[in-house]
């Protein structure tokens, strides 16, 4: 093997070997089966937001970049719709497009997923009306809420907190442009997106939004030696670089090996591993030694997200994962619990408490860290390939949520306490570290809590 990775992961007390065996045997099979479930399969996203940083250089017309959103119609390949299929030009063109992409149409998105009784979201406040104390509510409304053992104050506290301190900008779910996408029908894989547009995104992320080593303050920072950055800045770079590695590994693993489709619209080519492409990107000989470091950054990112899952586990275990299919929802809830118990059993978690300790400076740094990451989330709206934009947004939202769980302080306490505290608890960890009037949550803080924290 030209690129066998071994040994310690920098800035973590863990090795590649430990993570490999834990992931391959315990996490991956469970996660993979969960990802096939309806609850995790659909994601609502706005792929039409304007790039806030520059005039877009045109969305690329590469055929593997297109994304097929779900419509409210049933999967027309399955049912009585065949009549409409032949008569409606819109449906007919959708059918052709699906043949071209080799994708099937999305099945109807279950009503249960569409917000009315959806689960609480760590990044968003609830919009639907909530039952008040003593008021009867129908079962369907109840199902989406946190486990009823939590008090109303706790849930209110959570909802208020959820609206603040985000590490990423989120799409407005109510916008007409936000559409459900079936992730199984639009897998992350090679799209052909490359060249100046892709490079501008990566360059903007690294040069303008990562913390640069001091010896490379010019327009093109050199990240080959990040040793003189502090832990927090190194962690930021490693997480971003790990995400970049993940994207590039996916495109190598699901590469278009042969485009045999030609004029046969029903064929979509042959997909599989492209070892040469992987080698070009990660072989130490071909990358001046950078390849293995970039792969290790993916392990770093894995540990960071694993720790966030473990930390939020008490909360995640209380959710109902509601889609409307009682049997399936029960199974998903059990499968999530099972996954979380495995995640919690991991012995060498990333230690978030080693970061952002050090008075006012640390508080400032945390704020900068959050702002830089929020900026990266906006850059995702500049990605010129829809499929890449979809997966970029999804993964940045996931990482931003993990950062929020790790660094907002609200998951540092047992669940009921943490939800109550979140109404008043300051975001930063020491007396005197708070930039004045920063958020609603911080405005309401109590002096005793500052002392404890
Ligand atoms: P790039 O990957 O574009 O990298 C640019 C430069 O960054 C490299 O020259 C190197 O110096 C440095 N670099 C590379 N990897 C790392 C790393 N891990 N850490 C630190 N520095 C690094 N393409 C697809 O086929 N499918 C996708 O789903 C897809 N999704 C994308 C999502 C986003 C958000 C973006 C920005 C791009 C996406 N791409 C996708 C494009 C893909 O990431 C590459 O940009 C493209 O394949 C061109 O690769 P490249 O070899 O020119 O180097």
Mean of pLDDT values over 341-350: 92
**Could you tell me the sign of the dihedral formed by the alpha carbons of 41, 47, 51, 56, in that order?**
positive
Give the ligand 1 atom nearest the CA of 388: 30
Q: How far apart are CA 196 and CA 188, in angstroms?
A: 21
CA 248–ligand 1 middle distance (angstroms):
6
Q: What is the pLDDT of residue 328?
A: 94
**Tokens standing for residue 420:** 């109550």
Mean of pLDDT values over 136-152: 43
More confident residue, 12 or 376: 376
Mean of pLDDT values over 340-367: 92
296, 287 contact by CB (below 8 A): no
Other residues' Cβ atoms within 10 Å of the Cβ of residue 318: 18
Grade residue 173 by pLDDT with cuts at 50, 70 and 90: confident
Grade residue 215 by pLDDT with cuts at 50, 70 and 90: low
Instruction: Name 98's Cβ contacts closer than 8 Å, sequence gap at least 6.
Output: 68, 104, 105
The DSSP annotation for 89-104 comes to HHHHHHHHHHHHHT-P
The DSSP annotation for 438-449 comes to --HHHHT--HHH
Residues linked to residue 69 through DSSP beta bridges, in sequence order: 181
Phi-psi region of 241 (alpha: psi -120 to 50; beta: other; left: phi over 0): alpha
Question: For residue 153, which phi and psi values (nearest 5 degrees)?
Answer: -65, -40
Indicate the pTM of the whole model: 0.81
- For ligand 1, which residues put their CB under 6 angstroms from it? 188, 190-191, 193-194, 198-199, 201-202, 241, 244-245, 247-248, 251, 294, 383, 387-388, 391-392
CA 29–ligand 1 middle distance (angstroms):
27
**Tokens standing for residue 68:** 């097929």
60, 47 contact by CB (below 8 A): no
Nearest CA to ligand 1 atom 47: 194
Query: Can you tell me the ipTM of this complex?
Result: 0.99
Of 67, 201, 202, 224, the residue with max ligand 1 atoms within 8 A of its CB, to mutate for a pocket test, comes to 202
Q: What single DSSP character describes residue 146? A: S
Mean of pLDDT values over 57-63: 75
Average pLDDT for the chain: 77
Q: What is the pLDDT of residue 220?
A: 63
pLDDT digits (tens, 9 = 90+) for 422-452: 333 333 322 222 222 333 222 322 222 222 2
Q: How far apart are CA 348 and CA 303, in angstroms?
A: 9
Q: How far apart are CA 435 and CA 367, in angstroms?
A: 9
Instruction: Name 340's Cβ contacts closer than 8 Å, sequence gap at least 6.
Output: 309, 310, 313, 316, 317
Q: What single DSSP character describes residue 113? A: G
370 pLDDT more than 80: yes
Residues linked to residue 272 through DSSP beta bridges, in sequence order: 255
Q: What percent of the chain has pLDDT over 70?
A: 68
Q: What is the pLDDT of residue 305?
A: 97
Mean of pLDDT values over 144-166: 57
Q: What is the pLDDT of residue 269?
A: 82
Instruction: Name 111's Cβ contacts closer than 8 Å, sequence gap at least 6.
Output: 324
pLDDT digits (tens, 9 = 90+) for 231-266: 999 999 999 999 999 999 999 999 999 876 654 444
410, 87 contact by CB (below 8 A): no
Q: Quick one: CA torsion of 150, 110, 397, 442, rounded to 10 degrees? A: -30
Q: What is the pLDDT of residue 138?
A: 40
Q: Measuring CA to CA, how many Å separate 198 from each of 195, 234, 244, 275, 377?
A: 6, 24, 12, 22, 15
């Amino acid at each position: 093997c030209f690129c066998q990775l071994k040994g310690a992961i920098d800035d973590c007390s863990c090795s590649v070997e430990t993570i490999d065996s834990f992931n391959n045997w315990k996490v991956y099979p469970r996660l993979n089966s969960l990802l096939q479930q309806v609850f995790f399969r659909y994601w609502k996203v706005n792929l039409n937001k304007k790039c806030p940083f520059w005039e877009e250089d045109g969305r690329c017309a590469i055929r593997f970049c297109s994304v097929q959103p779900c419509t409210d119609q049933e999967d027309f390949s399955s049912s009585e719709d065949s009549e409409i299929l032949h008569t409606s030009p819109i449906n007919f063109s959708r059918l052709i497009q699906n043949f071209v992409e080799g994708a099937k149409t999305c099945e109807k998105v279950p009503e249960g997923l569409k917000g009315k009784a959806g689960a609480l979201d760590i990044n968003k406040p609830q919009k639907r009306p909530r039952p008040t104390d003593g008021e009867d509510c129908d079962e369907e409304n109840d199902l989406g809420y946190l486990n009823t053992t939590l008090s109303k104050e706790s849930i209110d506290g959570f909802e208020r907190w959820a609206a603040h301190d985000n590490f990423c900008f989120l799409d407005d779910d109510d916008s007409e442009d936000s559409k459900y996408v079936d992730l199984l029908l639009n897998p992350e894989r090679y799209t052909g997106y490359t060249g100046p547009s892709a490079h501008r995104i990566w360059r903007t992320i690294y040069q303008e939004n990562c913390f640069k080593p001091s010896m490379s303050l010019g327009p093109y920072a050199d990240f080959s030696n990040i040793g003189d950055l502090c832990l927090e800045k190194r962690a930021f770079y490693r997480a971003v670089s790990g995400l970049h590695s993940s994207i590039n590994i996916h495109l190598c693993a699901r590469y278009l090996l042969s485009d045999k489709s030609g004029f046969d619209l029903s064929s979509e080519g042959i997909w599989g591993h492209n070892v040469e492409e992987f080698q070009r990107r990660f072989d130490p000989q071909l990358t001046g030694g950078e390849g293995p470091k970039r792969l290790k950054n993916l392990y770093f990112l894995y540990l960071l997200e694993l720790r966030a899952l473990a930390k939020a586990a008490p909360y995640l275990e209380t959710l109902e994962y509601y889609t409307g299919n009682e049997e399936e929802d029960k199974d998903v809830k059990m499968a999530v619990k099972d996954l979380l118990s495995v995640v919690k059993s991991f012995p060498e978690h990333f230690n978030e408490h080693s970061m952002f300790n050090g008075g006012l400076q640390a508080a400032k740094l945390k704020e900068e860290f959050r702002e830089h990451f929020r900026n990266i989330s906006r850059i995702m709206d500049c990605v010129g390939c829809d499929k890449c934009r979809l997966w970029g947004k999804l993964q940045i939202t996931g990482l931003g949520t993990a950062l929020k769980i790790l660094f907002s302080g609200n998951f540092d306490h047992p669940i009921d306490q943490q939800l109550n505290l979140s109404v008043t608890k300051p975001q930063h960890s020491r007396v005197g570290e708070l930039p004045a009037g920063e958020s609603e949550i911080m405005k309401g803080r109590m002096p005793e809590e500052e002392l404890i924290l």
